[in-house]
Amino acid sequence: MTSIKTFEDYKQVYRYSVEQPEAFWSEVATQFVWKKKWDQVLEWNFHKPEVKWFIGGSLNITENCIDRHLPHRASQTALLWEANDPNEPSRRITYQELHDEVCKVANMLKMHGVKKGDRVCIYMPMVPEAAYAILGCARIGAVHSVVFAGFSAGSLSDRINDSNCKAVLTCDGSFRGDKKIDLKGIVDEALKKTPSVEKVIVLERTRGPVTMTEGRDFWWHTEMTKVNAICDAEPMDSEDLLFILYTSGSTGKPKGMVHTCGGYMVHIGYTFQTIFQYREKELYWCTADVGWVTGHSYIVYGPLMNGATSLMFEGIPSWPDMGRFWQVIEKHKVNIFYTAPTAIRSLQNAPLSFVERHDLSSLRLLGSVGEPINEEAWHWYHANIGKDRCDIVDTWWQTETGGFMISPIANVTPMKPAFASFPVPGVQPAVMDEHGHEIEGNGIEGRLTIKFPWPSMARTIYGDHGRFRDTYFSTFSGKYFTGDGCKRDPDGYYRITGRVDDIIIVSGHNLGTAEIESAIDEHHDVVESAVVGFPHDIKGQGVYAFVICYKKPENEDKLRGEIRDTVSKIIGAIAKPDKIQFVSGLPKTRSGKIMRRILRKVAEGDTTNLGDTTTLLDPGVVDEIKNGAL
């Protein structure tokens, strides 16, 4: 009993999954191709913490994504690629072609000395070859570490070094609207500081000028002619590493979340089918980037495991005009459209004529992910894109969870605007109060934790298991802490209210305030800074920086520009502060801890109700900060 067609089914399956989790997941797992069946479903301890699924099982996820479909889907489109430029022809890659390209990439990696267990960094834009690269690694058991191709050279080298990647797969450049980005130049800069990298394979995309380093750098197209399209899938233990993906932490450097083969496969394959209720021949489009977990799980692995056709889009929603998404839906007759609230809000601000000039009647289902969707955006999306016909699946999950955790089920769960609704079968949320007690019943609010393991959960932080335990398993003993707050309404529907830690979500990108602060502090005029989020109409949250300088800035706007450039250089453009307020001091407690609560209030524009400030070392700075608020 794992398949769901009605809300009654959901309730039954959910109950079963909680009462007999091992039986439930083992039934789900049976629907996949294994080289060897598991001996034991689950072993876990949230105090260590240690979690293992499908112990003793052996599999290769690429056989589930590709080979199993070849007998009946060889000529079906697996990936449909739409270029940045609407005038460039789209590309259809069949399951057979996907097989051949993935095997060739796998052989190319082997030829360059990459072995099972080696880490490979993928720094590529949204081209089909990025999917080949991901699957090519998985084919031979190399661990992929995809780094979003909007990150700076410094962020790239930090991530490469953290996991000692042996090879880098990249492009000469990338297209983004009317801009061209020199990716290879960024890689060259990053590789000055990465001793572990032996080989770089460069795909030609923009044909801009590049410098190739003899013996290290090779062209993708020439290397691919030297290999054949047959490559046996490496048998992987269920708990062997599949990939590492970095996410921001509330303190310190980014965390390399580790995902393993068996559990990830089962959870992602099952949730793609269940939540979207994907039907044969439908065209599915997720607008995320492969550099984020959404791209991994629900552009590449999830759809392919289900024999779906997944649309991959290289461009941006606003170019050549604000109707680009709607034009692509019309052009390809997209059935399922899955995007982020920040994109919806920015398109909602454009004249409705950009929507109305396109035929969106192919749509059956809409999805949302990345941050809480506000009711206004939900209704706009539902009415204008879904024409009041399509359900919206508001999927709550995280890089750490690997796959969907709380979400409506398409055409099954009665919709409630802006509610992520109910837990996915097998997922057991618990809402906690500030004293660490679980709050039972409905009509409540607290911190969201998960009290039982699920197959696609991250197993550790690469190279730092202590940090994994401290970050996720120590706030609430014996439970996984998500970092999010939530409400459970009188009907038991969950609504995610947002982060309760020092992580801010800007345009759906997860950023640690500490990371931005340390980038700002790199500017030679800056003594210290404090960063908080503030509500932003389009981005959800914006970045507000309070900055102390050595001397009073002569030209504040010039210095603001320089600080933004510094952050952009160190982290990437996504982390640039929206507002920079120069201050002479920060509100600190006697023990030196910055009281962010006060800064958050000021950033929100609420300066009347700052709460208790008596424990501050120098309450005087608060007035100055209030008066200078932007």
DSSP 8-state class, residue 532:
E
Distance CA 106, CA 204 (A): 18
Q: CA-CA distances (angstroms) from residue 111 to 115, 125, 203, 220? A: 10, 24, 17, 12
Q: Which x/- pattern, by CB under 6 A, does the window 192-231 give for ligand WT7?
A: ----------------------------------------
Nearest approach in angstroms of CB 396 to ligand WT7 is 4
Residue among 108 and 496 whose Cβ is closer to ligand WT7: 496
Sort 267 into a burial class: Cβ within 10 Å, 0-12 / 13-18 / 19+.
buried
Query: Any contact of residue 371 with ligand WT7 (CB under 6 A)?
Result: yes
Distance CA 607, CA 290 (A): 41
Nearest approach in angstroms of CB 565 to ligand WT7 is 25
Q: Which amino acid is at 86?
A: P
- List the 444-450 sheet strands across, edge first: 429-432, 444-450, 480-488, 494-499
Distance CA 48, CA 625 (A): 43
- DSSP-assigned beta bridge partners for residue 534: 542
Q: Which x/- pattern, by CB under 6 A, does the window 262-301 give for ligand WT7?
A: ------------------------------xxx-------
* H or E, element range at 328: helix 324-332
Applying CB under 6 A, among 246, 397, 454, 493 the residue interacting with ligand WT7 is 397
Of residues 504-543, those binding ligand WT7 (CB under 6 A):
505, 510
Applying CB under 6 A, among 372, 386, 453, 577 the residue interacting with ligand WT7 is 372
Query: Any contact of residue 369 with ligand WT7 (CB under 6 A)?
Result: yes
* H or E, element range at 546: strand 540-549
Stretch that binds ligand WT7, among 43-51, 150-158, 368-376, 408-416 (CB under 6 A): 368-376
Token duo for residue 387: 């024409």
Query: Any contact of residue 625 with ligand WT7 (CB under 6 A)?
Result: no
Applying CB under 6 A, among 69, 99, 139, 499 the residue interacting with ligand WT7 is 499
Nearest approach in angstroms of CB 496 to ligand WT7 is 4
- DSSP-assigned beta bridge partners for residue 237: 58
Distance from the Cα of residue 575 to its chain's centroid? 16
Q: Which x/- pattern, by CB under 6 A, does the window 402-431 give for ligand WT7?
A: ------------------x-----------
- DSSP-assigned beta bridge partners for residue 368: 339, 394
Applying CB under 6 A, among 57, 262, 483, 540 the residue interacting with ligand WT7 is 483
Query: Any contact of residue 399 with ligand WT7 (CB under 6 A)?
Result: yes
Burial 337-365, CB ≥16 within 10 A → b, else e? bbbbbbbbbbbbeeeeebbeebebeebbb
Stretch that binds ligand WT7, among 88-96, 320-328, 397-405, 569-577 (CB under 6 A): 397-405
Nearest approach in angstroms of CB 485 to ligand WT7 is 9
Query: Total binding residues for ligand WT7 by CB under 6 A?
Result: 23
- Find out whether 73 and 307 touch, Cβ atoms under 8 Å: yes
* H or E, element range at 175: strand 174-176
Residue among 77 and 368 whose Cβ is closer to ligand WT7: 368
Applying CB under 6 A, among 273, 395, 471, 513 the residue interacting with ligand WT7 is 395
Residue among 341 and 577 whose Cβ is closer to ligand WT7: 341
Query: Any contact of residue 398 with ligand WT7 (CB under 6 A)?
Result: yes
- Find out whether 405 and 449 touch, Cβ atoms under 8 Å: no
Residue among 295 and 323 whose Cβ is closer to ligand WT7: 295
Token duo for residue 165: 């990647």
Nearest approach in angstroms of CB 508 to ligand WT7 is 7
Listed as own residue / partner, the contacts of 7-13 with beta carbons closer than 8 Å and 24 or more positions apart are 7/412, 7/413, 7/414, 9/412, 10/409, 10/412, 10/413, 10/422, 10/425, 13/425
Residue among 263 and 372 whose Cβ is closer to ligand WT7: 372
Which residues of the shown chain bind ligand WT7 in the complex (CB under 6 A)?
Answer: 247, 292-294, 368-372, 394-399, 420, 482-484, 496, 499, 505, 510
